[in-house]
Amino acid sequence: MRSIVIEDHFVAWRAASLGALGEGLAPEAIEWRVRQEPESSQEQALFDYGATSEKTEPRPTAVHVSKELAALLQDAALFRESQRWAFLYKVLWRWQHGDRAVASPADADGARLHRMAKSVRRARHDMLAYVRFRKQASGSAVQTPEYIAWYEPEHDVLAWAAEHFAQRMGRSTWMITTPRGAAFWDGQQLHLEQRRGLPGDHRCDTADEAEALWLAYYRSTFNPARLNEAALEQHMPVRFWKGLPEGHLIPAMISEAKSGARRVAQASGVGALGGKIIPIEADMAQPVRDQPSSLDTCRRCDLWRNATQAVGSSGPSDARIMLIGEQPGDQEDLSGQPFVGPAGQLLTIAITRAGLSRDQVYLTNAVKHFKWEPRGKRRLHKTPGQREIEACSFWLERELRTVRPAVIVALGATALTALLRGKVSLRDHLDAPFRVEGGWGIATYHPSFALRQQNDADRDKVLAEISNALMRARELAESATPTATKPQQ
């Protein structure tokens, strides 16, 4: 048995193999060993003949192999296996003795050789795909590279990948550390350190300003509706996740997709994005869609996003008088009923003074969701915009067609705008009733206007104006001819 000690790389094995072939050494007659530590004085030669004290230099022989086999041998030489050098020498021995089947996948040794080469090529691809450099903080030491990466390759492909990165990263200095060695590029020359059992894992924990941007981009491009977990793990094996900045995001995104995000995909994120407002009629900008069947499902404007619930109406469906307010307040938003807050209590007083009761009138609002803005722990009322009034006109028009009141009382400017379908002045309509389709209209102040007065006298004056308007509404309703036939509900 002959012992051959070589450096752990293809060039050293090739030189030793040619020498062994020149000596006519069969594969089973050789013990291949990799040099681990600096050699002693008795272990300087390539061949170790055991008890023989005389050292002779082996005579290399010429071996002509096909281009395909040469590529297979060079790739398989990077396969991480303790017996790889002995196996590769066996392949070379068989080829040299005329056994060309050794290069065929149909042969047992040939199949093993192809599997080793294929696994190494896959490891090369993975290293290029999954190495993530992180930029070092400015002001670091002179010898510290600008970029650092940690990677755990399945096979010994560090040197090959380092050559690849050296050609593509210009003069930027970088270092890739692995459990079995490291590669350092100083901007001009590549330095490799192949060592087994490096202390620690040499992970890179430096901060990188670009990483936050990359993570935001990765989240935004993830579409849960198109998630294929098996394909994801095939193209990005789980073992690489711990070395990727985005790796810690993937399990959470998969979990969210399984728990319901797959159904809505990116709709929530895309819908929340800001955009440029285009001046175009809504009916022309959107395709024809079925109208929402209930207030709870209404998404005609964005007020539903911050409201507790939609607030409908109250009162008899055949009421002769309809009162239209602006929008629900804080208490209405929580209870789901119109006019139950402080303004609603003042309205009840005004209704009673007018000789009516709440059971006789139909109460509703021009806008069905509470629009508010935060002020400390409070939610303060915010006046609805024209777009929101127009969006809710669908519900108001349906109520008008259903109830068909003889008199409609608009409480405030917003309600009057919704009733007359255009921007109008409340002050211009306070003095006298006006005709609206199917009956009379009366404009007066909203009860919340009375609440905003600075003293009791002004508050009572506004409340008296509201009561007088409701009294005129009662008189008009009593004198008007009732509608002959109500439509079937």
* pLDDT mean over 152-174: 90
* pLDDT mean over 17-41: 81
pLDDT at 485: 39
Contact 472, 434 (CB under 8 A): no
Contact 109, 91 (CB under 8 A): yes
Q: Which residues have CB under 8 Å from 239's CB, separation 6+?
A: 152
Q: Quote helix, strand, coil % in the chain, to nearest 5.
A: 45, 15, 40
pLDDT at 79: 95
Q: Is the pLDDT of residue 264 over 80?
A: no
Least confident of 54-58, 148-152, 285-289, 441-445: 54-58
**DSSP-assigned letters across all residues of 184-198:** EE-SS-EEEEE-SS-
pLDDT at 236: 83
Question: Which of 54-58, 156-160, 291-295 has the highest mean predicted lDDT (pLDDT)?
Answer: 156-160
Mean pLDDT of the chain: 84
CA distances from 184 to 70, 148, 169, 192, 369 (A): 29, 9, 12, 6, 63
Q: Is the pLDDT of residue 327 over 50?
A: yes
Amino acid at residue number 21: L
* pLDDT mean over 42-65: 52
pLDDT at 97: 92
Give the model confidence (pLDDT) of 473-483 as tens digits: 999 999 875 54
Q: Is the pLDDT of residue 198 over 50?
A: no
Amino acid at residue number 329: G
Q: Is the pLDDT of residue 145 over 60?
A: yes
Residue in the structure block whose two tokens are 């010429």: 62
pLDDT at 343: 95
Give the model confidence (pLDDT) of 225-254 as tens digits: 778 888 888 888 888 888 888 888 888 888
Give the model confidence (pLDDT) of 379-395 as tens digits: 999 999 999 999 999 99
Give the model confidence (pLDDT) of 360-386 as tens digits: 999 999 999 999 999 888 999 999 999
Element (H, E) at 338: none
Q: Is the pLDDT of residue 207 over 80?
A: no
* pLDDT mean over 21-45: 73
pLDDT band at 10 (very low <50, low <70, confident <90, very high): very high
Q: Is the pLDDT of residue 323 over 60?
A: yes
Model confidence, pTM: 0.48
Distance separating alpha carbons of residues 307 and 392, to the nearest angstrom: 15
Domain boundaries, the chain: 2-127, 131-194, 209-263, 295-479
* pLDDT mean over 52-75: 75
How far the first Cα of the chain sits from its last, in Å, is 103
Q: Is the pLDDT of residue 103 over 60?
A: yes
Q: Is the pLDDT of residue 203 over 80?
A: no
* In 257-322, alpha helices (H): 262-264, 267-271, 282-285
Give the model confidence (pLDDT) of 333-359 as tens digits: 999 999 999 999 999 999 999 999 999
Give the model confidence (pLDDT) of 409-436 as tens digits: 999 999 999 999 988 899 999 978 999 9
CA distances from 328 to 87, 344, 426 (A): 83, 10, 20
**Top-tier CATH class for 295-479:** alpha beta
Element (H, E) at 47: strand 47-48
pLDDT band at 49 (very low <50, low <70, confident <90, very high): very low
Element (H, E) at 327: none
Q: Is the pLDDT of residue 199 over 50?
A: no
Higher local confidence (pLDDT), 195 or 182? 182
Contact 379, 294 (CB under 8 A): no
Burial 372-405 (b: 16+ CB within 10 A, else e): beeeeeebebeebeeebbbbbbebbeebbeebbb
CA angle 348, 353, 359 (to 5 degrees): 45
* pLDDT mean over 462-468: 95
Residue in the structure block whose two tokens are 């804080």: 330
Q: Is the pLDDT of residue 179 over 50?
A: yes
Distance separating alpha carbons of residues 187 and 192, to the nearest angstrom: 14
Amino acid at residue number 409: V
